[in-house]
Structure 1
């Protein structure tokens, strides 16, 4: 399975980076993290638009796009595993999008095949990356009958 996470901003060294690396080592699927960043000092809608352009340019062609959004659909780990397995069976790349501090531009929300929420709380981007990576690993273990989920 080919999975890409496109995230706005750079993740620095630290515990979040170490946790992500640990899950990536366990996961037999290809999972790439592409970081995009607007460096110009622009704010608000202009920044959101520019980040959307960078995200769209980084998406693999033909990918199923799942955008993380606080208002998105929440799924149990079992349901997420079922969806991820279905996407794997569709033989298309899967791309998750984590937006910037100003949120997702409507272009991204429209392009997304699914808006996925990690609950109603807002999380720091580094934590979202960790939680998403863990849930992708958990989905794999559920699909393969590995005892990790128990």
Structure 2
């Protein structure tokens, strides 16, 4: 099952970019044997200043046709790491070929795109900068792969 990380904004050189690439690289290595991955990153930028609606249009175009649409949103479900791993495993086991995780910009995801989502995930009730959400999602994808592989990374 291919994963797509669709996000507003470009990761600039720095610690966040280093962490995202490190965790996604680890995920790709661990996930390969589990029929997970690779993860493709799709970065979009609204250079015209059209706000959430313009960003949503760009994000929607970045999502592959037929992909399950999973948005990162503060109103989404809060899952434990094992529950998140089970969700990913369930999508894979049901024959899903593509899952697209969508991260909006500073103002979030436009309601029209959010309402189209098949799944909404929250990293808690706090609001996180969208760049940190990318880091946290990359880390949780790697953690999910290690949980599904029965590895020692996750301790309950």
When normalised by structure 1's length, the TM-score is 0.93
* Partner Cα distance (2:49, 2:130) in 1: 19
Supply the RMSD in Å over aligned alpha carbons: 1.1
Q: 1:61 aligns to what?
A: 65
Q: 2:47 aligns to what?
A: 39
Matches within 5 A, 1:1-150: 1-28=1-28, 29-42=37-50, 47-92=51-96, 93-150=98-155
Consecutive unaligned residues of structure 1, counting only runs of 5 or more, are none
* Partner Cα distance (1:4, 1:30) in 2: 8
When normalised by structure 2's length, the TM-score is 0.89
Consecutive unaligned residues of structure 2, counting only runs of 5 or more, are 29-36
* Partner Cα distance (1:62, 1:97) in 2: 14
Residue deviations 1:120-149 (CA, integer Å, cap 9, x gap): 111111110000000011011001101111
